[in-house]
Amino acid sequence: MRFSIVLSAQPTRFDAVAFRGDFERNLARIAAMGYDGVELAIRDPAQMDYPALRALLDQYGLAVPAIGTGQAWGEERLSFTDPDPAVRRAAVERVRAHLPFAAQVGAQIVIGLLRGVVQPGVTHKQATAWMVDALQECTRAAAAVGVRLCLEPLNRYETDLIHTVAEGLELIERVGADNLGLLLDTFHMNIEEADMAAAIREAGDRLFHFHVADSNRRYPGAGHIDFGRLLGTLAEVGYEGFVSGEFLPWPDAETAAERAIAHLRSVAPRLDLP
């Protein structure tokens, strides 16, 4: 089982990113802790120096299992469900702009809050239709370069669109793309799912990526979630992707990251996981 952690490649106001700031220093720290990869949070691909980024990733031996897009919502309010068609178009184009680098490094593209929320004056039905249209266009473009997209069910306090595995699977069926799957996040699942292990089983082979944070959104082991049970369920369903930490930098980024990987590894061996 391989472990990664979210690293912001650009300035961000999002709280649940342990590492931000000096990019190379963060890569060195993450690699030294024994992580296998970094999930890159990138707001705008146009502002990235990808050759330099790729060289640093190779230098520190870190894979990129996924690229997060949520900062485009958090910093710019781009979304698939904005009433303004120009904003919806910009959100789709932002996803398309991530595809060349994602294809190079074998990363998946995360669709979290980039899907947006149901805004005033818009019905849930209309917002969902816009979201489906956007996902269909994005998945077609991604499929052409061999990239998968991961839709993340989020808790009810952050969006009114797609909270559970069941809702996510229903949307995936409506989009009708083989390269669209789910990203499950234990923080959100703890709020929305009656049984997190059962939700993982329900996702089955549509589980493309997995986020870990404890019940308080701190590092695994700082709350009440049974990560041994969840890692065991991942093994049971044949999940071969990364387990990626997205949690608050509490008490600080380095301590949180060290405690997270120590806790996850402490429960994984008892389950005979690779």
Choice among 39, 152, 192, 193 that is catalytic:
152
Q: Which two tokens stand for residue 164?
A: 């559970």
Q: Which helix (H) or strand (E) holds 14?
A: none
Q: Which is nearest to 183 in space by CA: 65, 18, 274?
A: 65
Using H for helix, E for strand and C for coil, what is the string for 193-221?
CCCHHHHHHHHHHHEEEEEECCCCCCCCC
Q: Distance of CA 166 to CAs 23, 148, 184, Å?
A: 37, 20, 12
Whether 75 is a known active-site residue: answer no
- Is 173 one of the annotated active-site residues of the chain? no
Residue 149 sits at φ, ψ, to 5 deg, of -110, 145
Among 39, 192, 202, 246, the active-site one is 246
The residue type at 227: F
Length of the chain: 274
Cα–Cα distance for residue pair 208/166, rounded to 1 Å: 15
Active site residues: 152, 246
